Chains A and B, each alone.
Chain A
Amino acid sequence: MEKIIKIPELSLVVLVGASGSGKSSFARKHFKETEILSSDYCRGLVSDDETNQACTKDAFDVLNYIAATRLRLGKLTVIDATSVKPEDRQRLVKLARDHYVLPVAIVLDVPWQLCHERNSQRSDRQFGPHVVMNHSKALRKGLGSLRKSEGFTNVHILRTMDEIEAVKIERQILWNNKKHEQGPFDILGDVHGCFEETQTLLKKLGYEITKTEDRYAVRHPQGRKLIFVGDLVDRGPKTPEVIRFVKQAIEDGQAFSVLGNHDDKLKRALMGRKVKIAHGLQESLDQLDQSGEAFKEEAKDFLGTLISHYVFDHGKLAVAHAGLKEKYIGRGAPRIKQFCMYGETTGESDEFGLPVRYPWAEDYRGETMIVYGHTPVSEAEWVNNTINIDTGCVFGGKLTALRYPEKELVSVPAQKAYADSIKPLETPKTQRSAYDLLDIADVIGKRIINTHLRKNITIREENAAAALEVMSRFAIDPRWLIYVPPTMSPTETTEKEGFLEHPEEAFHYFRQEGVKTVICEEKHMGSRVLIIVCKGAEAAKKRFHVTDGRSGVCYTRTGRPFFTDALLEQGFIARLQQAIEKAALWEKLESDWLLLDCELMPWSAKAQSLLQQQYAPVATAAEISLAAASTLLAQAAKQVPETAALQEDFKHRQDLAQRYRKAYQHYCWPVEALDDYALAPFHILAHENSLNMEKSHLWHMEILDQLCEQDTAFLRKTTSKIVTLADEAACAEAVHWWAHSTAEGGEGMVVKPLDFTVFGKKGLVQPGVKCRGLEYLRIIYGPDYTRAKNLDRLRKRGLGKKRSLAVREYALGYEALKHFVARAPLHKIHECVFAILALESEAVDPRL
């Protein structure tokens, strides 16, 4: 006959028994090899000898460390050591409690003679019978306390070989584990007896509610289920009705509820415990008195079934009344229950004499969304993937529901204030300010970041240090800095005579990656600028949580303010707002903000000092020296003919220097007023509820063309060509277009997969490859780069690192915006943006 032993799915299983009692065989039979930690094995690990008793302390240090790590990570662990002495077990119980897992003891209490016989058959256990006898004696002596007072959740004692043979272990899921329930859900804030508001809200959410006699039936046509964050009772007018409704819904499998502190206290009052009657408890008791003794009993039993937190949807969602720390999720312990019901306080008091709550949510970094209530706030607001949805209905606020997974908030106002709050409802000031405070631990040191597009992006410590300096000293407010653009690789180096880069190479690359259609976009030569435009300052404040009163920002590719003059910046933003307004984009995109990726011309506006201190001087120096050399060589050639060849050479270089000068002059003109600038937007990277890096470039071009038409003096369209890569004629035409526009002074073009984010054979495909013009490259490679002897050597350039950086940075930028659009906590966005800056400080040939 089977003997079933039930153990919680997350527990610390302590096997207790003398040497030779069969613990190891038992463990191997019932548990995974990796779940078992044996003291003998640890002795072997530290001393190469499993029987070495001299290293027992060290062996147990190792064992404890591994056990602690496993428990922290939520893994069931089995301890295979004799554990016959109470003090040995005490340590293990504490270990389990420290990690909020349940300790379970399984005792193998077999006769010592049997143990001794088994040991004597083993070459490594040649010790006298007294050892086993002592074990056995110690075990027997401690059995009483083991059962009663050592703190094990369950103790299973097996006395005979038959009994041991018959054991079958069943792992039981924890009460709080509702991981298989995937929703969709509607999660309701503290109800506090506000029955009418609950009904109104549920109807608004689309629930169908029927009542026959005193039975409620609730269902949602789309199969949605309800979750209550607790505090169903007290203060409000209809506590019994709320209990009746929620109880029925739970029994019908339509709802879940966690236990709030008020629910708990009412339960204890109903059980006849001595509790302080305050905070609306009296109202509940009075109301229940009128509902009859039978219902009172029902209510008591119902409240007794509520537990303090649930985990849903494979760990993606957890609900608790007052909140939940990451390390508590899915575990059970008195301390966790206390936290779930009350949260923590700092020990300080505020000006109303109320305890100051410890802002646990600011520290929260978990992947599990935490929904809670308990502290009434005027507006529900996200803090680090957590949200408090108690909007103080009973105090005259409103009753709020969070739709999951939509993350949509739905609320109905309270019909009246049923109770007075000691202090006004907290505006989420403390919560919002959590938004402006990042933690250094989220950015420094070596980091490995996983993104949706690419796993395991490593950021080296020294690069993070450089990024921290730039971020702190020069970058714009991190609340604005939701994205920085990735670097872009040039085409593979062409072997075509006279060229370093050529469109054919770009087409070849994308063809190889399986891309069918690309877009060739004109590459403007100015300065990269990222612009966030909001409909107004109020919209900016609401969406970006900024407090600077601006309605947008312009920043550079490394996150610095683009303009030193704030007025000029706001002029830019205003001009763009007008164009967006005229093009009716706010309405079309259903958004009151946009993130635009643009190039701002002229180059000289931003790069004035670079031009004056590097590009122009090189041209000047070249002109002076080459002209003089050419003249002097010509004079010498009259007498010494062999000088003539050298003179030809210098004459040619003089010409190249002039072309170099012309190359940069195309990108320079003086600017005084806004009209002197030309802004060319080429991506709408994101807007409300929409990350646009998955959308076809045609979508971007179409909307941006509409935008540019509104203000042709200021906005410049980006010309482009769609090329089907299988179509040779189309490719040739694109090459011609490139050659023509670059001969006219254009920088070149960018070739991108039409569908923006594309995966190929080796993962993420380059989101764009730049193909720069022959003359433009003179600025990059020097006036003489086109001379054959130079070009041959310059062709030996390696693109590997640049391309790898480009996709890693792209994946991080995509991730940052995905987080922002999903209203993820700021630190998640910032971590990605910071990582891009860190990668940008890696050493790579800047000419690429």
Chain B
Amino acid sequence: MLLTLTTTYVPATDIGFLLHKNPGALHSKTLPFGVAHVFYPEATEEKCTAALLLDIDPVGLVRKDKGAAFPLEHYVNDRPYVASSFLSVAINRVFGTLLSGKSKQRQDLVDKALPLEAVIYALPCQAGEALLQDLFVPLGYDITLCRSALDAAFPEWGQSPYYTVTLRKNCPLRELLIHLYVLMPVLDNKKHYFIGDAEVEKLLHYGEGWLKDHPKKEAIAYRSFRNLRSFSRMALDRLQEEEPLEDQAQQEEAEHHANAQEEALEQTLPQTLLAPPPPSLNAQRYQSVLAVLKDHQSRTVLDLGCGEGKLLRLLQKEKQFAKIAGCDVAMGSLAIAQDRLKPEQQSRGQPEILLFQSSLTYRDARFAGYDAISLIEVIEHVDEARLGALERVVFEHAKPPLVIVTTPNKDYNSVFETLPAVQFRHADHRFEWTRADFQNWAHPIAAERGYEVTFHPIGTEHETHGGASQMAVFVKTDCENTDIKTGEDGKNY
């Protein structure tokens, strides 16, 4: 919320002409989110400093969103104190004439390179010093950074994300301001809570002439277009506690990151030089499942823990299936699955698609009646203590003729060179099983529930560690008569 601009150009007070603000006065302008003040702590011929101080009204900001309840973070946050998109907007509103680049009296001064120094106070940059350097150094700035500690009383808490940044360059003042205007929100990388699309477009407009050559232009563009948290996500967020809230983009990013990490890990698999590179492990996994389903001529399939519907997309066009259903507990994933699968656009002869929310640890009458149920990399996301419930839901109550379960093979973890020995492949894994663990779990279930089970590696097999993933195929052995009978024939006591 505070920025100073200093020049040692003589006469330094000429900066007042450029900014259209007389150094001898205090200039205040009311903006939608507070008041912008311009004043001059120092104004001599040799050196002149203009300060832009933005007094943000946090209470006023919040009050505008009457009716909606945002997480607490929305109310008490660093916005009033940091150099964020608000400060960008203030630059545009207060120094608009200079930014336009036109001047009736002093066009020469507008275009002239001046010795300039800008100080930005409390500029948030979670990404760290490197990003600051990467953004400003290519633009020719000499940059000095001073990072603040989080809390002097608790040095173990480490550094804060705030930098006081000093930039020096000989250039027209307009150029400096445009760079700040565009790059401050990029560094901040927070969603633009209170700024409409129009402002974002303006940001891009001012990038003309330099942004396209900037080595970090993708990062700049990406970070400029953060969206508001969607309302559907909010109900869930309110059940977060004592955890800082991330916006949806960040959360999705985190989830994707975990998924991507797992995939990336899988791609580090040593590949044989002779054969062409095999399809990704994930693709192999789904192909293996499809092959089993085809073998058993299953007509109806329920994918439990379908996530975003990757398996269902593979089955979607297979005419073998009359009905494919997906179930997940995460409404967000189901919405994505719905988007991708477009159940309403299935044509005649293609399987009917059904998506619904449920949970694997609750008995659900809707799970019954399918030819096959698949649990693809799902069980390891359930607490081990709750597996008993899952087992009963699937094998006792739904009890389809065919059950396919896949899970990572822990034996294989040592093949991943980048995976620390104690770490799971995915942040949400509650356990990872060796082949023996998996079989020890599956055999008693099969025996007790009337199934025959076989085990299959997935992915290129390692000679001692097996496949990267493992699959158990349960086939029901006595599914001819499951009608409920009443009467004397059912008695024995």
Contacts and interface: CB of A to CB of B under 8 A. Distances in A.
Asked if chains A and B come from one complex, the reply is yes
A462 interface: yes
Interface in A354-370: 354-355, 357-358
Interface string B1-16: 1101000000000000
B122 interface: yes
B363 A616 contact: no
A639 B43 contact: yes
Interface in B134-166: 148-151, 153-154, 156-158, 160-162, 164
A616 B486 contact: no
Contacts of A344: 484-486, 490
Interface stretch (A93-101, A178-186, A440-448): A440-448
Interface string B150-186: 1101101110111010000000000000000000000
B392 A437 contact: yes
A105 B244 CA distance: 71
A1 interface: no
Given A347-B481, A347-B484, A625-B82, A843 B362 contact: no
Contacts of B26: 636, 640, 642-643, 646
A822 interface: no
Contact of B121 (A339, A557, A625): A625
B379 interface: no
Given A342-B491, A629-B51, 8 more contacts: A346-B485, A347-B483, A433-B388, A466-B239, A620-B160, A794-B59, A840-B238, A841-B236
A476 to B, nearest CB: 9
Interface of B: 1-2, 4, 24-26, 37, 39-43, 49, 51, 53, 58-60, 63, 68-73, 75-78, 80-82, 121-122, 124, 148-151, 153-154, 156-158, 160-162, 164, 234-236, 238-239, 241-244, 329-331, 357-366, 381, 383, 385-386, 388-389, 392-393, 450, 478, 481-493
Nearest to A339: B486
A80 to B, nearest CB: 35
Closest 8 pairs between A and B when the two form their complex, measured CB to CB = A345-B490, A621-B81, A635-B41, A843-B69, A472-B359, A613-B244, A440-B362, A440-B364
A548 B387 CA distance: 12
20 contacts: A261-B493, A339-B486, A342-B486, A347-B481, A355-B485, A440-B362, A444-B358, A462-B235, A465-B331, A468-B358, A469-B236, A618-B78, A621-B81, A621-B160, A625-B81, A632-B39, A636-B40, A781-B76, A843-B234, A843-B238
A668 B363 contact: no
A621 B482 contact: no
Contacts of A342: 486-488, 490-491
Contacts of A607: 242
A632 B4 contact: yes
A437 B363 contact: yes
A844 B366 CA distance: 34
A635 B76 contact: no
Interface residues of A, number: 103
B296 to A, nearest CB: 21
Contacts of A629: 1-2, 51, 53, 121
B59 A624 contact: no
A355 B490 contact: yes
B421 to A, nearest CB: 19
Please indicate which of the listed interface residues A348, A472, A623, A779 has the most CB atoms of chain B within 10 Å of its own CB.
Answer: A472
B361 A438 contact: yes
A847 B72 CA distance: 7
B42 A635 contact: yes
A840 B234 CA distance: 12
A611 B158 CA distance: 12
Contacts of A527: 242
Nearest to B330: A469
Contacts of A622: 78, 80-81
Given A344-B486, A610-B242, A793-B63, A847 B77 contact: no
A794 B37 CA distance: 25
A661 B148 CA distance: 15
Contacts of B490: 342-345, 355, 357
Contacts of A442: 362
Interface of A: 231, 261, 279, 335, 338-339, 342-348, 354-355, 357-358, 374-376, 422, 433, 436-444, 462-463, 465-473, 477, 527, 547-548, 556-558, 560, 606-607, 609-626, 628-629, 632-633, 635-636, 639-640, 642-643, 646, 661, 665, 668, 670, 779-782, 784-785, 790, 793-794, 837, 840-847
A610 B244 contact: yes
A438 B362 contact: yes
Contacts of A619: 151
A465 B357 contact: yes
Contacts of B235: 462-463, 466, 841-843
Contacts of A845: 69
Nearest to A603: B242
B189 to A, nearest CB: 14
B40 to A, nearest CB: 6
Contacts of A560: 241
Contact of B359 (A347, A440, A642, A643): A440
A417 B259 CA distance: 61
A642 B364 CA distance: 72
A640 B39 contact: yes
A841 B238 contact: yes
A548 B385 contact: yes
Contacts of A279: 492-493
A668 B236 contact: no
Contacts of A231: 493
Given A610-B243, A617-B161, A625-B121, A847 B75 contact: yes
A342 B489 CA distance: 9
B121 A624 contact: yes
A619 B154 CA distance: 13
A328 B1 CA distance: 73
A636 B485 contact: no
Contact of A646 (B37, B153, B162, B330): B37
Nearest to A787: B59
A669 to B, nearest CB: 9
Given A348-B450, A614-B244, A473 B41 contact: no
A549 to B, nearest CB: 10
Given A345-B484, A444-B357, A477-B385, A628 B236 contact: no
A646 B55 CA distance: 10
A445 to B, nearest CB: 10
A650 B156 CA distance: 30
B127 to A, nearest CB: 15
